[in-house]
Structure 1
Amino acid sequence: MRKLKSLLLAAAALGAMTAASYTQEVTLRLHQMLPPQATIPAKALTPWREKVVADSGGRIQIDQFDAMALGGTPPQLVDQVNDNVVDLIWTVIGYTPGRFPSTETFELPFFMTTGEATSKAFHEYCEKRCVDEFAGMKVIAWHAHGPGLIHSKNPVNKLEDMKGLKIRGGSRVINQMLEALGATPVGMPVPAVSEALSKGVIDATTIPWEVTPSLRVSELVKNHTGFSGSHGLYTQTFVFAMSQASYDKLPDDLKAVIDANSGIETAAMFGRVMDEGDAGGLKIAQDLGNNIITLDEAETQRWKDAAAPLIDAWIAEMSAKGLDAEAMVTEAQELITKHTPEM
């Protein structure tokens, strides 16, 4: 009887623990840099958050903090999630130069096509090449934005117009590209662009169309330069990630909810909403009567030729650090081609 009673008590305790694991509720804090009306927080993070809440039957709640509301600067978001200060972050990978070298491949000039296609390629590439660099994070999606452009106070109609221009760049590689094109790069996170333009700290900025509305860029400058062909000048890379410690604390069924809302299709969704945002940003500039410049094929080729040495220099730099950089470049190009329709 005593043995039976012990077994019954153990079974009851196990049952209680199992029941508790399936009724556990958790509130996660998501921190990111942009104002809430910007494309990613409004059209990607919010729908993702709502779907996770619904898929979990309300057992996962997510509080979204926009525009660095919890403090710190955009480059500190990676440390905030690694140190378990917050549970989720979305950020620009290039804001922490040198920390994620394998991701820089996708920022090289004239590699990217569309935001969606490049995001799918980037996520697939990172699952193979970048996991160790993101230790401490449960990555939900790696992704990229649509074609980067030059938004300037004075028209940029040819390569020579870049000479001496103070242009904001968003990462180490993009700044190197701007320098190769003759400009004077000024590194800063994207939330600082509006003030820098209005105060004359910079003459121009490199960003995609989708973020121009939230930064009022089309009101601050009147010239916008894009390029011919299927490849954009550059893209910037992003990570949407959860603290590994926060993920590990979840019961298995809630981990499964996060897993089901992670991966290449989530990356594609983020890239797709950025492509859609590009159309909206372009329309605002057109409605304002701004000067929309598309360089023809011959002029675009001059820019490609000017930027090409950066690719070889990057391969040499990364190879010296022990990375198989030539293979990384080839793989990135092949994956972008694979995921770009009719390419």
Structure 2
Amino acid sequence: MKPIQRKLYFASAFALLLSSSANAEPVSLRLHHFVPAQQNVAAHALAPWAKKVAEDSNGEVKIQLFPSMQLGGRPSDLFDQAKDGVVDIVWTVLGYTPGRFPRSEVFELPFSSGAGEPASRAFWEYVNQNAQEEFREVKLLAVHVHGPGLFHTRDPINTLEDIKGMKIRGGSRVVNHLLEEVGAVAVGLPVPAVTEALSKGVITGATLPWEVTPSLKITQIVKNHTSFAGDKGLYTQTFAMVMNKASYEKLSIDQKKAIDDNIGIELSAAFGRVMDQGDAEGLALAKKTDNNIVELDAAETNRWKQAASRVRDIWYEEVAAKGIDGPKLAENAEKLIDHYSKD
């Protein structure tokens, strides 16, 4: 190809590219999730994100929000719904599909994480360093964790012995292992099922962060809440927002940019920040209703840490069978959490 022909070719191609982007048809993307529209994350993270993408795309990308599994299926189906193109985007709990995200599970180990915002920044960086393969079938938009997890129970928990035999809801297999190690009877349930299970006596308590308790009416159903000394919670859970790859690829360049400019570490941090703010509101509500709020002292907290230490050993053994160096991943995760917690 002669120089003049090459210049004309690239000029034409560039003009075509600009034309196709400028004339792109508006698109509507369906975002499916498992909590009510008024719930903290749905109202203060998902809805603002959808609005920002619409603004940045000049109205070309509309995100339709479908809360409470309105498009069908169970919470455990969400990741596959995005992967398979049943919907375009989902926000989900990784622990709802046990064993599928072993590298990401390290953030769920007992007493390893504290406030949601710094830990969510750490989680995004950790996934990009160590767990990208777990999200290879989707476009990853954000990952995050909630703040310190704690107990909400019918009967008070003041010592390790008090939990023996209690039927406690756990939200992931790692949390269920934790409950079993401290003597509880673990009952695996997604968040939307907790209110009914508590009301009907199927469970006598639940592991949840403060953030989600108002929408589930937890402080009305049970009156005892037990947290732990120090800046690390009993546990945390991992979340992700992911997009179907084909849904992303069909977008124009400008439409993709509106998505890409609003994902990553800052979106992950925004989720964590919203959950931290929700923790403060949930705790304030429990205090307002004059519920029994217990924070175990350092000595009692250490007893729980010792009882829960076996969970980490179990996890190391399980992931080693998959060729994963658990101690190395845990060390990396802890360094990142400490790094972002100090910023």
Q: Classify the TM-score, shorter chain.
A: over 0.9
Asked if 2 retains the 8 angstrom alpha-carbon contact of 1:136 and 1:245, the reply is no
Alignment-derived partner of residue 200 in structure 2: 199
Counterpart residue identity of residue 35, structure 1: P
Report the AA paired with residue 42 of structure 1: A
CA distance in 2, matches of 1:120, 1:65: 26
- The list of structure 1 runs, each at least 4 consecutive aligned residues, that deviate by more than 6 angstroms after superposition, is 10-14
For 1:320, the equivalent position in structure 2 comes to 321
**Corresponding letter in the other structure for 1:283:** A
In the alignment, the residues of structure 2 paired with residue 13 and residue 55 of structure 1 have an alpha-carbon distance, to the nearest angstrom, of 25
Structure 2 partner of 1:134? 135
Give unmatched runs, 5+ long, in structure 2. Answer: 1-7
The residue aligned with 1:5 is none
What displacement does 1:241 show? 1.0
Aligned residues: 336
Q: Which moved more, 1:16-25 or 1:154-163?
A: 16-25
The yes-or-no answer on 1:248 pairing with 2:249 is yes
What code does the residue aligned with 1:271 have? G
For 1:235, the equivalent position in structure 2 comes to 236
Residue in 1 that maps onto 2:153: 152
Unaligned runs of 5+ in 1: 1-7
- Which amino acid is 1:21 matched to? S
1:80 aligns with 2:71: no
Displacement of 1:11 = 8.5
> 2:189 is aligned with what amino acid?
M
Cα drift, residue 22 of structure 1 = 2.4
Counterparts of residues 157-168 of structure 1 (less than 5 Å): 157-168=158-169
Structure 2 residue aligned with 1:71: 72
Shift of 1:12: 8.1
Equivalent positions of 1:1-343 (< 5 A) are: 15=15, 18-24=18-24, 25-341=26-342
Change (3 A) 1:246 1:164: same
Q: Over aligned residues, Cα RMSD in angstroms?
A: 1.8
TM-score where L is the length of structure 2 = 0.95
Q: In 2, distance between residues paired with 1:276 and 1:236?
A: 17
CA distance in structure 2 between the partners assigned to 1:11 and 1:121 by the alignment:
44
**Secondary structure of 2:103's match?**
helix
CA distance in 1, matches of 2:274, 2:170: 22
Tell me, in whole angstroms, the C-alpha distance in 1 between the residues paired with 2:262 and 2:17: 26
TM-aligned CA distance change 1:322 to 1:12, over 3 Å: closer
Residue 129 of structure 1: how far off its partner (Å)? 1.4
Q: Which amino acid aligns with 1:129?
A: N
CA deviations on 1:234-272 (whole Å, 9 max, x unpaired) are 100000111111111112222122111111111111000
Give the CA deviation at 1:77.
0.3
Tell me how far apart the structure 2 counterparts of residues 285 and 268 of structure 1 sit (CA, whole Å).
26
> Secondary structure, in 3 states, of the residue corresponding to 1:101?
coil
CA distance in 1 between counterparts of 2:272 and 2:237 reads 11
Q: Secondary structure at the match of 2:152?
A: strand
Q: Is the CA contact 1:23–1:59 (under 8 Å) kept in the aligned structure 2?
A: no
Deviation of 1:14 after TM superposition, in Å, equals 8.0
8 Å CA contact retained: 1:167, 1:204: yes
Higher deviation after alignment, 330-339 or 316-325: 316-325
C-alpha distance in structure 1 between counterparts of 2:83 and 2:224, whole Å: 40
Whole-Å separation in 1 of the counterparts to 2:125 and 2:11: 44
Aligned-partner Cα distance in 2 for 1:185–1:56:
46
Cα shift readout 1:113-133 (whole Å, capped 9, x = no counterpart): 100111111111001111111
- AA aligned opposite 1:175: N
1:233 is matched by which residue type in structure 2?
A: L
SS at match of 1:340: helix
Question: C-alpha distance in 1, partners of 2:124/2:15?
Answer: 40
Post-superposition offset of 1:214 = 0.5
TM superposition shift of 1:326: 1.3
Q: Deviations over 1:274-296 (max 9, x none)?
A: 00000111111111110000000
Alpha-carbon distance in structure 2 between the residues aligned to 1:84 and 1:220: 38
Which stretch of the first structure deviates more once superposed, 317-326 or 164-173? Answer: 317-326
Partners of 1:330 and 1:85 lie apart in 2 by 37
Whole-angstrom distance in 1 between the partners of 2:206 and 2:154? 9
* Alignment-mate amino acid for residue 303 of structure 1: W
Distance 2:11 2:311 in 1: 65
